[in-house]
Copies of this chain bind each other. A is one copy, B any other.
Amino acid sequence: MRKGEQTKEYILQKAAQLFNERGYFGASMSDIMTVTGMEKGGIYNHFKSKDDLAVQAYEYSVDLMRQAFADAIKGKYHAVDRLQAVVGVFQKIPNGSPLAGGCPVINTAVHTSHTHPQLHASAQETMLEWQDFVRRIVQLGIDRQQLKPDTDVETVTTLLISTLEGAIMLTQLHQDSRYMDRATAHLVSYLQSLALTES
């Protein structure tokens, strides 16, 4: 990576965390200068505006999550193992992995609702991508006769994501991982109840 690209990635990494924690309106350019230790001019060498930085920082966060999901299901064949791996990725979010401040999609959705249509549309799009990712795992599991044939793909997808996102919220709000532990324990046994063959 060239020096310029390294600097740009460094700014994105710092800004992604800041926007995730504080939101678009709660994070000022002065906050971004503080966390990066850079002057405004240095930042604007790489980004046209705060808006440009926020949009690219969001994409950077989503890439981190996308990579985490891909790594998690790698080498796993049974749908239950894959779905439990997805649960495992969500479970680590309140611990700051891959990004501090909670789920960037839900945070962005809440932070930009009614105030930043472009970022809100991006959050919507990412969530649809995640739903599709879960949906495909479930559907493939049914097709491969790993999951019961009467498994409702949409219900599993909605439940998995809703419960995990809600548990991230409670865990973040109370700084108490027991909320996430209870939610994941329930989901793991729920997923096992859908299995047709041993995972």
- Name A residues whose Cβ lies closer than 8 Å to a Cβ of B: 21-26, 101-102, 106-107, 109-111, 113-115, 123-124, 127-128, 154-155, 158-159, 161-167, 169-170, 172-174, 178-179, 182-183, 185-186
Contacts and interface: CB of A to CB of B under 8 A. Distances in A.
Contacts of A21: 113-114
A30 to B, nearest CB: 14
Contacts of A111: 23, 26, 110-111
A158 to B, nearest CB: 4
Contacts of A22: 113-115
Contact of A162 (B109, B127, B154, B163): B163
Given A23-B111, A106-B110, A109-B172, A183 B162 contact: yes
Closest 5 CB pairs of A and B: A162-B166, A166-B166, A25-B25, A165-B166, A26-B115
